[in-house]
Structure 1
Amino acid sequence: MGFKKCFFLFLFFLLVGLASPSPFYIKNDVLEARVQTGRALLQQQGNCPVDFEKENYTIVTSQCKGPHYNETICCNAFKQLACNHMDELNDVQNGCATIMFNYINLYGKYPPGLFANMCKEDKKGLNCDNIIPPEGNKPEEQKSHSAKGSKSSVVLMLIASILIILFNI
């Protein structure tokens, strides 16, 4: 009977650890400047599943303006755009990051490496949990990865509770 209790305690703490919300990040590697020179079909690079040509870059270009770029405003605007595609951008094999930065530079005429040099939050990368929504947008309209994390946390905690009740630990 002692082994059974130890096993379910281990399982419980494993599920609790998995259920705790972890922040979502855009890796720092993604922020490195990958500016292409010359004429190239931007959407033809790699096998990126996102059509960045049709993305709304005014999120960034309307807020992040030079010649004196405000770090807080520019990084938050960049995160509003990039965090919607966090998983695709973190996959360095598909070329999505290169394509997105080429379009950002095409529409915003930003200096190379602007976002890579300014937007440093953590050794893991940019935290997509703390995006400040632009004025005029309601928070419930914003796409949020943290909502996914909180739903999975509730489900895992529910499973752990059921296991405890079923096996009388």
Structure 2
Amino acid sequence: MLNPLVRRVLGSALLLGAASAFAQAQEITLPLKEAWFEGQIVHYVSTDISDPGIARKQGINYVPALADTLKPGMPVERAYKFPGDEQATVLPSIPRPVGGANADATYSPLWVLVMVRWKPGVTPHTLTSEEAVLAAEEKGEVELTRTKIVANWPVVRARGAALQGVH
């Protein structure tokens, strides 16, 4: 058994070594996901979701408390997700522009998922905007199901602008 002073010195040395290693690790890599916004592809990162199954499938954080953001007045918009991943998600808003100059005070990286399912007999085609999704619903081509699943998907690249470090 180590004497208490030696244990403290060794513990401090381990903490300093860990802090030094942490300070050197200044970048991480997250997979970029594609989404449609007003006919253009934008990119986001998926870090957290309030659904345990999706969290496991995507390898992201399961955060049940995100569902608490569905209270009235909270800044949560719809994200149109195709459950079979037949196409990229459709987002109704993005920061304008991406980064510190964003002038859209209503943008939030929190999204309530609306599942988009093609109706039988309809040939799927790519929907590239919220307007296209809603028009397809109006024509009877798709069924929209609002869930209580909230995702944290910050948009990191759009319209030629990107957050620092996004390649």
Structure with the higher strand share, 1 or 2: 2
The normalised TM-score by structure 2 is 0.29
Structure with the higher helix share, 1 or 2: 1
The normalised TM-score by structure 1 is 0.29
